[in-house]
Amino acid sequence: MTEWQEQLTVPRAPFIPAVVWVDDPATSGFISVSRGDDETRWHELVAADEPIITQVDDGRTAPGRTGLQPSSSCSQPSLVAAMLAALDVRDGHRVMEIGTGTGWNAALLSDRAGARGRVVSIEVDPTVADNARTALADVGYAPLVMTGDGTKGYAGGAPYDRVICTASVRTIPRPWIDQTQPGGVIVVPWGTDYGNDALTRLEVGEDGTASGRCGMGLAFMRVRQQRRDFLEPAVDELDAAETTQTGRTGRELFEMVAFTQAAFTIGLRVPSCYLTVEEIDDDHRRIELHDVRSQSWARVTLVRGHDSWTVRQIGPRRLWHEVDAAHTWWCDAGKPTPDRYGLTVTPDGTHEVWIDAPRNERHWPLTF
Ligand SMILES: C[S@@+](CC[C@H](N)C(=O)[O-])C[C@H]1O[C@@H](n2cnc3c(N)ncnc32)[C@H](O)[C@@H]1O
């Protein structure tokens, strides 16, 4: 057994519903796998170190149909272990989880907090919450599972020693900080609109600030209230788009889209910009940038064997130029990796990012 497997003191299988969802390469959507129809496949999915999608489209798509968007899942076991290690729940702790999902992590938290501790877990989807309550009771754990918007926290259980969110956020909700006691810890996948999130561990101070470092990259689903959206320009809009060329190298473009390279920094420098990368075929790839709020959009089309790429831009912002400039900034700053960053949230809600240490040479407030 590996070190991370030892963290997982409660089995996963009892929390996985009989119907789960898997990628469907034919449609780029998700299709259901039923335990009753394919017991072997279901067990393989449960045993793998991969997330398992347990709901699509907020429950609106029935099994047997094609789902478009995962909306609840059981997280990847090795990531669950990494987040638990960062949270460091001790016997007797009061813990709040946001994003109950299957209830597996709530069981793991309950196991750690012990009989003297208390776990509250909040799930926005009533059906998902009900299923989690049933699974938790069947396995013998009794955390308080609340149905509601976890970004508001749950003042009834405060103050907490530990807060963990198992969906990702762009901004740290103020109630989480207010409901955590000084010295308490908040662990959350935090990131920007642009790309993946970083496993972020904040410690709450006496003065109501929360501050700490970013770490490994995570790809979590967003809390419902902070989901991303993208634009699909119509053909006539594409025809009218501003068209330029960029001579950025393939290596530089890779850096712009890779989390461990420039992507995390670009997200911190370019607000409200969502990145998508699409493989069209073996020879063509598209990098797109979307800001739904200002209706701005950009596309860089890469063609194998070429060394100059066409850039199309629409809307009031020139998103490609902003991303291009942020990449230059990243190079000038010595190519900082995500784990060199930290975040401080002050009582007035300012989210200040810094490199290496708070108030170091490079720090700035984020705009949203
Ligand atoms: C990755 S899943 C959680 C995995 C879960 N901890 C487990 O052990 O299975 C994320 C969950 O967050 C829930 N969620 C999204 N937005 C939320 C919100 N504002 N408040 C509470 N739960 C939310 C989703 O419905 C989904 O069930």
Span 77-226: which CATH code? 3.40.50.150
Question: Residues with Cβ within 6 A of ligand 1?
Answer: 71-75, 98-99, 101-102, 104-105, 122-125, 128, 149-151, 166-167, 220-221, 223-225
Give me the residue spans of the domains in the chain. 13-74, 77-226, 235-332
Bridge partners of 186, per DSSP, are 163, 202
- Work out the percent of the chain whose per-residue pLDDT is above 70: 100
Q: What is the pLDDT of residue 359?
A: 82
Tell me the pLDDT tens digit for each residue of 37-64. Answer: 999 999 999 999 999 999 999 999 999 9
Cross-strand partners of 352: 344, 365
List, for the chain, all residue ranges whose pLDDT scores fall below the cut of 50. Answer: none
Architecture of domain 235-332 in CATH? 2-Layer Sandwich (3.30)
Q: Is 121 a residue of the active site?
A: no
Choosing from 76, 133, 223 the residue with most ligand 1 atoms within 8 A of its CB, the one to mutate for a pocket test is: 223
Ligand 1 pocket test: which of 100, 104, 105, 130 has the largest number of ligand atoms within 8 Å of its C-beta? 100
Equal CATH topology for 77-226 and 235-332:
no
DSSP secondary structure string for all residues of 99-159:
--TTSHHHHHHHHHHTTTSEEEEEES-HHHHHHHHHHHHHHT---EEEES-GGG--GGGPS
Per-residue pLDDT tens digits for 214-266: 999 998 999 998 898 899 999 999 999 999 999 999 999 999 999 999 999 99
